């Protein structure tokens, strides 16, 4: 069982940057496939980015490709999402997720979820 805690959200102006972190517990963190998702009021949770167990394979939603970078440091049991050139439409609660299968998965089919961190981008 892994527990996930997100941090790094906040209020930023359009064009700015934020880095989200997702700290995981447990010895098996390095074997999990992981992802970032976001949800805005009235909308379904949507895929943002995913990374495999080693960090060697990643995937991104088209809406964030070229602006966001997902990475992980298994020695620190932490995953990151570097968000640059932020837009007002990036405003959402961002969730990190983990699954026992260590591969990249772009659907919400994850078994472990964090509590979320709010990102607000002002115009």
pLDDT < 70 positions in the chain? none
**Which pLDDT does position 1 carry in this prediction?**
77
3-state secondary structure of 82: strand
**Which pLDDT does position 94 carry in this prediction?**
98
**Which pLDDT does position 2 carry in this prediction?**
86
**Which pLDDT does position 26 carry in this prediction?**
80
How far is residue 60 from each of residues 13, 57, 68, 76, measured CA to CA in Å? 23, 11, 8, 23
**Which pLDDT does position 101 carry in this prediction?**
87
């Amino acid at each position: 069982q892994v527990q996930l805690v997100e941090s790094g959200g906040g209020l930023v102006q359009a064009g700015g940057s934020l880095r989200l972190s997702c700290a995981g517990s447990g010895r098996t963190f390095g074997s999990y496939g992981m992802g970032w998702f976001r949800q805005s009021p009235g909308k379904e949770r949507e895929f943002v980015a995913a990374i495999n167990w080693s960090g060697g394979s990643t995937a991104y939603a088209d809406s964030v490709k070229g602006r966001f970078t997902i990475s992980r440091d298994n020695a620190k049991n932490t995953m990151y999402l570097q968000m640059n050139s932020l837009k007002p439409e990036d405003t959402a609660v961002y969730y990190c997720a983990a699954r026992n299968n260590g591969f990249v998965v772009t659907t919400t089919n994850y078994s472990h979820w964090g509590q979320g961190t709010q990102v607000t981008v002002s115009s």
